[in-house]
Amino acid sequence: MRNTLILAAFLSFLLNLKISDSVIFKMTNVECLSHNKSWVRINTCRLKAINRFKVVFNFNATLFYPTPDIKVTYRFFKKENGYKPWLINVEIDSCRFLKKPYNAVGIMVYNFFRNFTNANHTCPLYDELIVKNMYLTTEPFKGLPWPTGEYLFSLRWKFFGKPQFDTNVSFQFVEDLL
């Protein structure tokens, strides 16, 4: 009886391992650019490989003024002979969103970051904007059938309607390796 239980536990462990190993989902590059260095200074924008499957993102920017009007354009590109615009192109009113999440794409994107960022309170955002050791998991997709491929996720941050900085994250999603 005891051996059976141990065997069952071991098998379910292997099975879980197999399921979580059947996806590669990792960032491959990041680029950040301030368009207005008197408002936004990018201190850190860097990936670090932890192992073959896990890459973490660290971001640190200083916003020199309290910023109560923030809109971010989210655009996805998919690589097919160069990056081509892919389905998602949406502008999120971040200050409205931080009060009350209101857009499905916004919610998905925020779910990737929420555990890793200090932007988890209502506006204004001020001083340090941090993303710490963020990595990708498939959880925010919530069953969305995301196609295998190489992607670029581009975020353009506007304050009072004017572009202030960009964060571009490239990532790879590969399903069913086995």
Ligand X SMILES: *[C@@H]1O[C@H](CO)[C@@H](O)[C@H](O)[C@H]1NC(C)=O
Query: Applying CB under 6 A, what is the total number of residues that bind ligand X?
Result: 16
Phi then psi for 122, rounded to 5 degrees? -75, 165
For residues 31 and 45, the answer to whether their CB atoms sit within 8 Å is yes
Q: Which of 95, 101, 107, 140 binds ligand X (CB under 6 A)?
A: 140
CB 64, min distance to ligand X, A: 6
3-state class (DSSP) for residue 87 = strand
Residue 18 contacts ligand X per CB under 6 A = no
Name, in order, each residue with C-beta under 8 angstroms of 30's C-beta and a sequence gap of 6 or more: 45, 46, 47, 57, 59, 167, 168, 169, 170
Residue 38 contacts ligand X per CB under 6 A = yes
CB 123, min distance to ligand X, A: 14
Binding segment for ligand X (CB under 6 A), chosen from 19-27, 49-57, 90-98, 132-140, is: 132-140
Residue with smaller CB distance to ligand X, 48 or 84:
48
Residue with smaller CB distance to ligand X, 11 or 44:
44
Residue 118 contacts ligand X per CB under 6 A = yes
Q: Which of 140, 71, 147 is nearest to 107 (CA)?
A: 140
